Chains A and B, each alone.
Chain A
Amino acid sequence: DTGVSQNPRHKITKRGQNVTFRCDPISEHNRLYWYRQTLGQGPEFLTYFQNEAQLEKSRLLSDRFSAERPKGSFSTLEIQRTEQGDSAMYLCASSFPPSGSSYEQYFGPGTRLTVT
C-alpha cells in the first residue's frame, strides 16, 4: 500500500497520560498536514510541514500538542497530559503540489483517540 499510513489506528488512554501518533506520508510528498475531527464536524487544521520545517500551527494546537517531522519523512504528533476533550480522530495528509494553484491532499485512515 503506497498511501498515507497512520499508527496506531486506535488509542485508548487515561486522562493525564501522554500519547504519540505516527504518520508516514506518500514517499515523494514533501508536505504533511495534521487535522483533528470530532463527531459531527469536518476535519480541522492543526499544523503542516514542508519537508522538516513546521510552517503553520493552528490556535487549536495548545502547548500540550507538539508535532515533529525530523527528517522530512514521517511525522509524529504528541499530546501531553491528555484531556477528555482531546478525544477525536486525528488525520494526517500529504501532498506534493505541482506548479500552479491546484493540489490534492491525500489522507490517511486516521488515529482514533479516546481519553477516559
Chain B
Amino acid sequence: AQRVTQPEKLLSVFKGAPVELKCNYSYSGSPELFWYVQYSRQRLQLLLRHISRESIKGFTADLNKGETSFHLKKPFAQEEDSAMYYCALTDFGNEKLTFGTGTRLTIIP
C-alpha cells in the first residue's frame, strides 16, 4: 500500500530563514510526487510536482528514490509562505492521489 508521511504537523520559521518541509513515502512502483498548498481561506492548489522540476514561489523539491523522500525547500522564507502544505503521490497511470497529513508552516515576522 502506498503511504505518505509528513513527520511535522507544525513548523515555525523566522522570515528570511531557510525552510524545509519533510516528506517520506513508501511505494513499490514508480510514483509521481506532488506538493499541494492551502493558504488561509483558499482552496487546495498544486505547488509543484517532481516531474516538472520547476521552482515555484522559490520552492524546490527533489525526489530522492534511495531515501524515498521528497522534501520541500526554500532558502529564504517569506511571510506569505504561511500555509498548510500537503505532500502527495500517485502511481503513473493511476488517478488516485494519496496525501500526507500535512504540515502547517508559520513564518514568524
Contacts and interface: CB of A to CB of B under 8 A. Distances in A.
Interface of A: 3-4, 31, 33, 35, 40-45, 48, 55-56, 58, 91, 95, 101-102, 104-110
B88 interface: yes
29 contacts: A4-B43, A33-B95, A35-B97, A40-B9, A41-B101, A41-B102, A42-B4, A42-B86, A42-B88, A42-B100, A42-B101, A42-B102, A43-B86, A45-B96, A48-B96, A55-B95, A56-B96, A91-B44, A95-B95, A101-B92, A101-B93, A102-B32, A102-B52, A104-B46, A104-B49, A107-B43, A108-B43, A109-B43, A110-B43
B26 interface: no
B95 A48 contact: yes
Interface in B42-64: 43-46, 49, 51-52
A75 to B, nearest CB: 14
B51 A31 contact: no
Nearest to B30: A101
Nearest to B96: A45
